[in-house]
Structure 1
Amino acid sequence: MEFIFGIDVSRYTSNVAILVDKHLVKQFKISNNVEGFKILDEQLGNFAKPLIIFEATGVYSRSLESYLQQADYPYTRINPLRAKKDMDSFRHNKTDSLDALGLAKAMSMHHYDPTKLSDPVYSEMHDLERLYQEKNEDIVREKNRLHKILSITFPEIEKLLSSTDGDLYWNLVQEFPSPKEVLKYDIQGLSKIILQSTPKNMGTLRSQHIASRFIDLAKESFTISNSIYAIKETTYHAHEVQTIDHMKTQLIDEMAKISENLPEIKVLTSIPGIGLKTAVCLTAEWGDVRRFYSSNAINAFVGIDLIHYESGNYTAGDHIRKRGNSYARKILFKAVLNIISASKHTPTNISLSYNTKKQSSGSKGTKKIVISAMHHLIRTMYHLILNNEMYDTKMFLTEH
């Protein structure tokens, strides 16, 4: 006999449908908490080797998944798009109870493989990486706010250094949020403060050069507002940007620490142009890449699989689906650009493919060429990780 539990998970509750040899025998609702999982455990205990299926619904399904893992029940976590496609043939209405029944019916028809459990480190990395991405979004907002308020209090300070990033710049903005604060000092006095403000070693001549330029910019600056509130807002946003930037660094360090025993980190960083940050962030987003049956499956997961459409005499240009992990897609896009930049010193099969296509197409379709290079990069990464091989430039260029 076949026993199937279809579970439709929502935020606070889950609907459960039990099929025995394709016949519905029971439906009930549980809360997604300790008491609810006790009820589910009692029901599961009534059947021998029950098949369990539910949709992956982000954070909402994680409590159910954690319970099933701790209770040592095999389960199938199905992609919502796959579930919708398979249930559309027999589901005409949509309710939570019908979704639970539909999942059970889909399991009885298709007999999906159980979900392979990955090392818990991948889940930990994923949580850290999502926090890292949140901080990325936060720092962009804070930088925009800082730029806006500096346009009122001290616009010329943005010309002081070659970059408006880094501890030296943010420390100076907090120390000198308006030109009048700079003009209180001569070059020697200002030079000493600059030396104290940089976390890196800086020579006296360099600090004096910055101090001299700082005073000149302060004299040129036309301040719109010197109000105490505008000054406080300037120092606040500079401090926030600096704090978030430090937190981002700490998150990368933490991901690197907990993943130091994962062989794919060393494999990925062996590719010229791929640094530790890219390797840990990408691994955190796509998890254990060995669970994918092919590199094309990774393309679909990332959302760069191609869509082809033609009807009658009309054929649309191929374009990527973009229905996938947008963070992984962004990381891979930047990784390709880094590989191309590093190819000046260490060419790779990815950069060679990119340059060949770029030359043949002129300067048109650069983004499409990068997407093509992403496909190439994914195939290379997948091969290396599956075989636990380091990147060998000579071997890959010879094959290419």
Structure 2
Amino acid sequence: MKVIFGIDVSKSTSTVCELINDSKSITTITNDRAGFLELLNDLKAFTQHPQIIFEATGVYSKRLQTFLDDYGYEYVFLNPLKAKKEMNLGLRHNKTDTTDAYHLALIQKLYHHPVNQLQAEQYCQLNALSRFYDQLTSDIVMAKNRLHKILQFTFPELESLFSAAKGFNYWSIVKMYPHCELVNGSTNLEIYNKLIELPGFQDKKAKKFTLNLISSARRAYPAASCNSVESSEAKYYAQRLIDLNKKRKNLIAQMVKIAEDLPNRDLEILESIPGFAQVTAVRVLGELGDLRRFSSPNKINAFIGIDPGRYQSGEIDASLSITKHGNAVARKILYRAIGQIDNASKTHPCHIADYYESKKLSSQTKGFKKIAIASIHKLIRTMYALINNDQLYDYDVAKHNQKRLLS
């Protein structure tokens, strides 16, 4: 007797379809302690653990996932895009919570999706911190855009004194001088004394920057007064950027501490890959988790959505672009990692950078994005092999293995 529980999770309730062979029964539970205990009683009615499947609906499904983990029940945690595609193959015409729960149970009966592998709690903590880091990054981008906009009213020339990569010193100076008139009303010595307190500002640089700042302030023609709301707003966003950046650094420090306390040396292994900075390494651990739980590198490709789609009709059998059904954050991190590896290869050679550069030189039609995706495939295979074999990266060994595979 095959028993499958298909669960459609909503904000405050969940619809449960209990599928026993071809017989089904539908119930609704609340997403709280009482509702989960009701579900537990239904699960305990069977001598063997039923198969459980539900969609990854963000924050709403997390409580159900935690409940099942706490009581030792295995489950299939299905990506919503993949679930929708598989349910639509059955020519689903109506969409309700009841039919969704039923169709989830049906696709598990048809496709036999493997259950999710449990990981150490540290990986869950790393994932939560990684997502917090990603949110802070979005907040920083938003605050930067707003600061740029508001400075056009008060002191637009200030931006030109810094390179494109503006950071702590730039925000600190905006906080001190959000309006050009504040510079005009200060002496050279007053400005110099403030600048010399900032990191990286030695005597010579502070004197030169003081003159440039005064010159820029004299050229400026502001659209708002010195005591305007816009001046206060510029100062606010400068301080917000300082705080957000500090918080983001603290998160990385937390992630490093957790990763170093893992009962393995995954962090050290990932950092041994040329171009893999500590930030990249801990975020990869946070998004991908324990790579040992995957049975092959192809499973990781599918997890982050870089596995190719397929179109088959009659005599046509073609590969499509990547599915993008997986972890978009991990996909973004690994895409950027390829650029970091390529930049680092000038001083620290890496077979992935060799592959990336050779493809760019030989390809006349493929865009760089496609080449980067192909390089991510190679990076994933490398990470998977290193972690499963508990080895640090070695360029000579990697080159030797490449030649052996080609021969």
Change (3 A) 1:310 1:100: closer
Distance 1:164 1:183 in 2: 26
Instruction: Please state how far the C-alpha of 1:343 moved relative to its aligned partner.
Output: 0.6
Give identity over the alignment, percent.
39
3-state DSSP of counterpart to 1:259: helix
Structure-2 change in CA distance of 1:396 and 1:66 (3 Å): same
Query: Which position in structure 2 is the counterpart of 1:17?
Result: 17
Report the 3-state secondary structure (helix = DSSP H, G, I; strand = E; otherwise coil) of the residue aligned with 1:185: coil
Tell me how far 1:318 sits from its aligned partner: 5.1
Q: 1:290 to 1:237 in 2, by over 3 A?
A: same
1:384·1:391 contact (CA, 8 Å) conserved in 2? yes
Give the match's secondary structure for 1:14.
Answer: strand
* RMSD between aligned residues: 2.5
Letter paired with 2:270? L
CA–CA distance in structure 1, aligned partners of residues 28 and 242 of structure 2? 48
Q: Is the 8 A contact 2:53 2:108 kept in 1?
A: no
* TM-aligned CA distance change 1:164 to 1:221, over 3 Å: farther
Please give the alpha-carbon distance, in whole angstroms, between the structure 2 residues aligned to 1:303 and 1:112: 17
Query: In the aligned structure 2, how far is the partner of 1:394 from the partner of 1:18?
Result: 55
| Matching residue of 2:35 | 36
SS in 2 for 1:43: helix
Gap change, CA 1:28 and 1:339, over 3 Å in 2: same
Cα distance change, pair 291–164 in 1 and its aligned pair in 2 (3 A): closer
**Which stretches in structure 1 are left out of the alignment for 5+ residues?**
none
Alignment partner, residue 234 of structure 2? 234
Alignment correspondent of 1:319: 321
Query: Structure 2 length normalisation: TM-score?
Result: 0.89
The alignment partner of 1:16 has SS state of: strand
Distance of 2:21 and 2:270 partners within structure 1: 47
Q: How does 1:147-158 map to 2 (within 5 A)?
A: 147-158=148-159
Matched letter for residue 204 of structure 1? D
Alpha carbons of structure 1 residues 230 and 57: separation in structure 2 relative to 1, 3 Å: closer
Question: For residues 112 and 156 of structure 1, do their structure 2 counterparts lie closer, same or farther at Cα, with a shift above 3 Å needed?
Answer: closer
Q: Could you tell me which amino acid in structure 2 is paired with residue 348 of structure 1?
A: C
- What's 1:376 paired with? 378
Tell me if the contact between 2:287 and 2:330 (Cα under 8 Å) persists in the aligned partners: yes
**Paired position in structure 1 for 2:96:** 95
Match of 1:45 in 2: 44
Using structure 1 for the length normalisation, give the TM-score: 0.91
C-alpha distance after superposition, 1:251-310 (max 9, x if no partner): 211122222134222111100100111111122122222222222222222222234558
Q: Separation in 2 of the partners of 1:151 and 1:134?
A: 27
Counterpart residue identity of residue 193, structure 1 = K
Contact 2:7/2:15, CA 8 A, preserved across alignment: yes
- The answer to whether the 8 A contact 1:9-1:54 is kept is no
How many residues align? The count is 397
Structure 2 CA distance, aligned partners of 1:7 and 1:76? 10
Aligned pairs for 1:1-400 (under 5 A) are 1-24=1-24, 26-55=25-54, 56-84=56-84, 86-87=86-87, 88-89=89-90, 93-163=94-164, 165-196=166-197, 198=198, 200=199, 202-226=201-225, 227-262=227-262, 263-307=265-309, 319-361=321-363, 365-400=367-402
Q: Distance in 1 between matches of 2:366 and 2:99?
A: 50
1:104 maps to amino acid: A
Q: Deviation digits for residues 345-385 of structure 1, max 9, x if unmatched?
A: 01111111111112213696222222221221111111112
In 2, Cα distance between the equivalents of 1:103 and 1:318? 26
Cα displacement (A) at 1:136 = 1.2
Q: Deviations over 1:197-233 (max 9, x none)?
A: x1x2532222111112111111122222215211111
Pick which of 42-51 and 117-126 moved more. 42-51
Deviations along 1:19-62, whole A, 9 cap, x unmatched?
Answer: 344433x4311100011112112222222123131222222111
State which drifts further: 78-87 or 247-256. 78-87
Cα distance between partner residues in 1 of 2:233 and 2:395: 51
User: Which 10-residue stretch deviates more, 319-328 or 87-96?
Assistant: 87-96
How far apart are residue 183 of structure 1 and its match?
2.1
- Once residues 215 and 100 of structure 2 are traced to their aligned partners in structure 1, the CA distance between those partners, rounded to angstroms, is 69
Unaligned runs of 5+ in 2: 403-407
CA distance in 2, matches of 1:94, 1:179: 59
CA contact (8 A) 1:5 1:50 kept: no
2:405 is matched with: none
The answer to whether the 8 A contact 1:3-1:48 is kept is no
Structure 1's 315 and 3: CA in aligned 2 closer, same or farther, altered over 3 A?
Answer: closer
C-alpha distance in 1, partners of 2:384/2:266? 10
Task: Indicate if the aligned counterparts of 2:3 and 2:19 stay in contact, CA closer than 8 A.
Answer: yes
Structure 1's 27 and 278: CA in aligned 2 closer, same or farther, altered over 3 A? same
1:149–1:92 Cα change, 3 Å: closer
Deviation at 1:86, TM superposition (A): 4.9
* Distance apart, 1:319 and its partner CA: 2.9
Q: Partners of 1:286 and 1:40 in 2: how far apart?
A: 30
Deviation per residue, 1:47-80 (Å, 9 max, x gap): 2123131222222111111111212223333344
Distance 1:50 1:221, change over 3 A: same
| Alpha-carbon distance in 2 for matches of 1:308, 1:266 | 37
